[in-house]
Chains A and B, each alone.
Chain A
Amino acid sequence: MRRSFSHSLIVYGCALLLAAFTAGPLLWLVVMSISAPTDLTEVPLRWIPSELDFSRYASLLSLEGGNGERFLSALRNSILTAGGATTAALLLAIPAAYAFSRRRASMVLLFAFLATIMMPPITYILPLYSTFSAFGLLNHTVTLVIVYTAMLLPFATWLMKANIDVLPLEVEQAAFMEGAGTAYTIREVVLPLALPAIAATAMLSFLVAWDEFFYALIFTNDLSSKTLPVAIADFSAGRVTDYGVIASVGVLATLPPAILAIAFQKFIVSGLVAGSVKG
């Protein structure tokens, strides 16, 4: 079937619209971040900046001045919490996933795992708050690491299980024949084979933790523990009247996940599909 000219016209028209809808808000965020403050308060707007102003990025990335300190400490906290929780979740999820995949652990149990994270966080928040507060653990990065580990764990277990399912069984059986124990087999046989899956799971887990806002909002309220989403909410609610500063923070907070998403695009597709299609 040859495509008619009008059909092509429609396809390219739609593609153009989609590109504008998708890229527009992001592009505008970038433009705001490098426009002079006076450009941003012109009515109607000046779409193309009269001059490029990178000063906000410079101030956010230096420890001089309040904004930079707030941004950099939030960045550090976000890296620590998302990285720590991802590591801990994988350490717990890999053995569990192996049990679900190779030791016929009940699928109902796996689903019960998943159900816990599908519940609204509001269900758990108050008892968690009281407990962490009783232990003096509010405003600690480690608190968020603990909560995020539990949040990432079911999802990571699920993804890892789907990926271990498709690994060839023969190598593991050979290892068992030679007398290797389960722990050894997981470490020396399954882990190397599952490395791409582990990378994909780690990346998706990191993105989920990087994005989390609700627990971070409740459990942190100073520089030592606030993560980027909370810091960004503060910037936007605070007295900052230079919208370019808010836009710059947004651009910087989007860079890591955007780079990961583009670099691991194939993984994301297969991860999401494993997550939402295979069930």
Chain B
Amino acid sequence: MHGRRQTREKWTLLAPAMLVLALITLIPLANTLWLSFTDTRISALPVPVNFIGLENYIYALTDPDFQAALYRTLYFTIVSVGLEGILGVAVAVLLNQEFKGRLVLRALIILPWAVPTIVNAVAWRLIYHPDYGALNSLLFQLGLISDYRSWIGDPATAMNMVILADVWKNFPLVAYVALAALQTVPGDLTKAAAVEGAGPWKRFVSITLPWIAGPLMVVMVLRTIEAFRVFDIVYVMTGGGPADSTKTASFYVYQEYFNYLRSGSGASYAVLVAGISAVLILVYYSASRRQAQGAVA
């Protein structure tokens, strides 16, 4: 009896949350899936809809523009998250040292993380401004460039400039997680290794890094999932340009929906993007499971 009452209570406690999530995520997801098999062309329903089977998918999978958008997204994700990882760990190692002003610096690096994404995008857009931007002026005055450049107006550099802005905002997250993990590294272990003659780099690679690998992995996968759906920073900084050089997958779907009003076709792209995200989310699940079990053991 007791057990049954507890089970009923469990579902009563969960029901409101599950209802809201079903309404806002599950039902729309099913709806998007359904739309992806139709030729719906405008976003305002109801309209005549024809079921066309896999036609949208066949088109989407052979669409070179969409493939290019996926590659761009992949590039953005790998380079952003990679740099955030390297910078984050380096910063954590630095902040793990004893020095004056350490706590001030620790508080300071939370600020980029607190800056709203859109403010971040707008601020860097001003910094990159071809005529009056701080970057051109700084590099020119330091003698590093002789001509002002159009950093986000040039397809060759635009994506990397967006990445720099993203790294600036997001490295603190990795740094904080890495720092928390670093503080659990037993000093005995590194001291013993030092006595045995291992240099700082060797100690870092063979002791510290494996020790913090679990939490680091989890936060990096989390960042990967977030980076893969990048939209807002691109929307504000470059609008997908120049010459589509920053048009990422989410941006591609957005245009298919709201600029070209091709709902059915857009939905098939959205499902493909969601499918890739789902794989990443499963990786995250297994990484965090392993981490949780490791923490218990």
Contacts and interface: CB of A to CB of B under 8 A. Distances in A.
Interface residues of A, number: 97
A23 B132 CA distance: 20
Nearest to A230: B118
25 contacts: A8-B99, A11-B99, A19-B105, A21-B168, A43-B131, A43-B137, A43-B148, A103-B10, A119-B25, A119-B229, A119-B274, A121-B231, A122-B270, A124-B29, A213-B118, A213-B235, A232-B118, A233-B235, A243-B126, A254-B115, A254-B116, A262-B114, A268-B176, A276-B218, A278-B291
Contact of A12 (B45, B99, B134, B280): B99
Given A23-B108, A277-B291, A99 B14 contact: yes
Interface string A238-255: 000001001100100110
Given A44-B137, A126-B43, A130-B44, 8 more contacts: A21-B168, A22-B109, A115-B285, A127-B27, A213-B232, A228-B118, A276-B215, A277-B180
Given A25-B123, A133-B44, A120 B24 contact: no
Contacts of B274: 119-120, 122-123
Contact residues of A: prevailing secondary structure: helix
Contact of B114 (A213, A235, A258): A258
Contact of B21 (A153, A253, A260): A153
B127 A28 contact: yes
A4 B292 CA distance: 39
Interface of A: 1, 8, 11-12, 14-15, 18-19, 21-23, 25-26, 28-29, 32, 40-45, 92-93, 95-96, 98-99, 103-105, 109, 111, 113, 115-131, 133-134, 146-147, 149-151, 153-154, 157, 182, 207, 210-211, 213-214, 217-218, 228-230, 232-233, 235-237, 243, 246-247, 250, 253-254, 257-258, 260-262, 265, 268-269, 272-273, 276-279
B157 interface: no
Interface of B: 6-7, 9-11, 13-14, 16-18, 20-21, 23-29, 31-32, 35, 43-45, 91, 94, 97, 99, 101-102, 105-119, 122-127, 129, 131-132, 134, 136-137, 140-141, 148, 168, 173, 176-177, 180-181, 194, 214-215, 218-219, 222, 225, 228-229, 231-232, 235-236, 250, 253-254, 257-258, 263, 266-267, 270-271, 273-274, 277-278, 280-281, 284-285, 287-289, 291-292, 295
